[in-house]
Amino acid sequence: MEEGLFCKAKPVFVPGRADKPDTLAAFRCDFTAEKGETLSGTDSRNHGFGAYYGALLMRGFLGMEIPDRVQKAVRFAPRTGSLRWAKGTMDTADGRISAYWRTDGDGMRMEMSAPRGYRIEARIPREFRGCRYMTVNGENRETTEEITAGNRLSLVIPSHCGTGKA
């Protein structure tokens, strides 16, 4: 059993593999309640154990924290590492929260949306804080470590830092 679980989790943690959607989709199906918990003897039969991996993917790779429904806020703090992109959604009682980020030769792009009435608190990854300017919801501004926006955020940090144009 331990060997099987290791094999199922391994594709997510091998460098360069987490950016392949089929790897994450297959991994998710192995551990989610309705799609993978069977009595076949090939699963953990432990919903809590499987849910941990969902939280790990949302927080660790995507950077989306658990929303604060009282304060109507959600924190988005991508940890890019060697990944090139991450994308995900979370359904809440207030509506869907979605987030996406990617890095490439052009810089970094972050997109997030939350239900009406929410605010988004985003944190720029450390490796992009040295850029002088960024574009936030279509407006050019100086780069800051933290950004607070309404329920929609579109952020672009160019690879050509310091030119005054994002």
Residue ranges covered by each domain of the chain = 1-62, 68-166
* More reliable by pLDDT, 100 or 16: 100
3-state secondary structure of 74: strand
Mean pLDDT of the chain: 76
C-alpha 109, offset from chain centre: 12
Percent of the chain with pLDDT over 70: 66
Residue 49 pLDDT grade (very low, low, confident, very high; cuts 50, 70, 90) = low
- Confidence at residue 44, expressed as pLDDT on a 0 to 100 scale: 55
pLDDT digits (tens, 9 = 90+) for 33-42: 444 445 555 5
Which alpha helices (H) appear in the chain, and where do they start and end? 2-13, 21-31, 33-36, 47-56
CA distance linking residue 160 with residue 155, whole number of Å: 15
In this predicted structure, the answer to whether residue 110 has a pLDDT above a threshold of 80 is yes
Query: What is 68-166's CATH superfamily?
Result: Maltose phosphorylase, domain 3 (2.60.420.10)
C-alpha 78, offset from chain centre: 6
0.75 cut: is pTM over it?
Answer: no
* Two tokens, residue 16: 């360069």
